[in-house]
Amino acid sequence: MEKVMKTHRVNELIELIHPEWKKNSDLNLVQFLLKLAEEAKYEGRLEDLTDDILIYHLKMRNSDENAMIPGIAKDCENDFKTAILRARGIIK
């Protein structure tokens, strides 16, 4: 199961990075990763940059700066009462 998850993560990262890297084809891969890390305000060492940071940054890179992060939006409720009822399992 873990191998399937890693394969899925690699495929997702490649799918997201490919079109963006093509827009910056003058950069080699490490330079492009450094650029993404800088854009994401990542301040650690490049070898500690996680797949999650890259995936979420690439998903959000061309979106409105006020857009909600994918994965959170699906669980967001605009109405507090609905959120409470859904959390208690009263409504689905």
Query: pLDDT value at position 6?
Result: 79
Q: Which CATH number belongs to the domain containing residue 47 in this structure?
A: 1.10.1580.20
Residue 92 lies in a domain: no
Per the domain annotation, does 31 fall within a domain? yes
Is residue 50 a part of any domain in this protein? yes
Within a domain: residue 34? yes
- For the chain, how many structural domains are there in total? 1
Residue 76 in domain: no
**Do the domain assignments include residue 59?**
yes
**CA-CA distance, 39 to 6, in Å (whole number)?**
25
Task: Walk along the chain (92 residues) in steps of 10 and give the mean pLDDT of each run.
Answer: 77 95 94 95 94 91 77 73 84 82
Which pLDDT score is estimated for 7? 86
User: For the stretch 21-37, what's the b/e string if a residue is b when 16 or more beta carbons lie within 10 angstroms of its beta carbon?
Assistant: beeeeeeeeeebbeebb
Which pLDDT belongs to residue 71? 67
Q: What is the pLDDT of residue 22?
A: 95
Domain span at residue 38 reads 2-66
Are 12 and 55 within 8 A, CB to CB?
yes
